[in-house]
Structure 1
Amino acid sequence: MALESGETPRRATREEMRDAKLPIQYRDSCAHLLIPLNRCRFETYYMPWKCEDERHSYEKCQYVEFKKRVAKMNELREAKGGARSN
């Protein structure tokens, strides 16, 4: 799923997530990639080599979101003036 520069990824709606029966903890900004991954897993009897592209896209999205959260937390720490405790 390649995006043009400046283009934001499509987000899954609450109805799509509900219809896909995603657990609450997975209803995040990467849910639009998890829905087709779960569908692929179900259709291929969870054979790990069958849904590699979907899984890679979902895991990459999760990693990018994690990096954003870490950057935001570091920003907040610097604004607060405190050093990292660990």
Structure 2
Amino acid sequence: MADAPEMKATQQELKKARIPIEYRDYCAHLLIPLNKCRGETFYLPWKCENERHEYEKCQYDDYKRRMVALKKAKEDEE
């Protein structure tokens, strides 16, 4: 896994898309089209599967990256 990824969506884009602050992370650029798709399809669970999968994969990869960084930080303390 690489170092921390860069933010792909600007704060202005996130504000315009009405993304809550707690969701403005490294995967927020994928949440914008997901929320748009959800709004257009009335949140039907079988719609927007590709967008949801991409967003959840990004969240998972970010979680793994943070856990590796945490493990390394703990090892450095010892």
Does the pair score TM above 0.5? Answer: yes
Bigger-Rg structure (1/2): 1
Provide the aligned C-alpha RMSD in A.
1.4
Aligned residues: 74
Q: Which runs of 5+ in 1 are unaligned?
A: 1-7, 82-86
Residue 10 (structure 1) shift: 6.7
Q: In structure 2, the residue corresponding to 1:29 is in which secondary structure?
A: coil
Residue 48 (structure 1) shift: 1.2
Bigger relative CO (Cα 8 Å, ≥ 6 apart): 2
1:3 aligns with none
Output the TM-score relative to the length of structure 1.
0.82
Q: Which runs of 5+ in 2 are unaligned?
A: none
1:41-60 mapped onto 2 (5 Å cutoff): 41-60=38-57
Output the TM-score relative to the length of structure 2.
0.90
2:58 aligns with 61
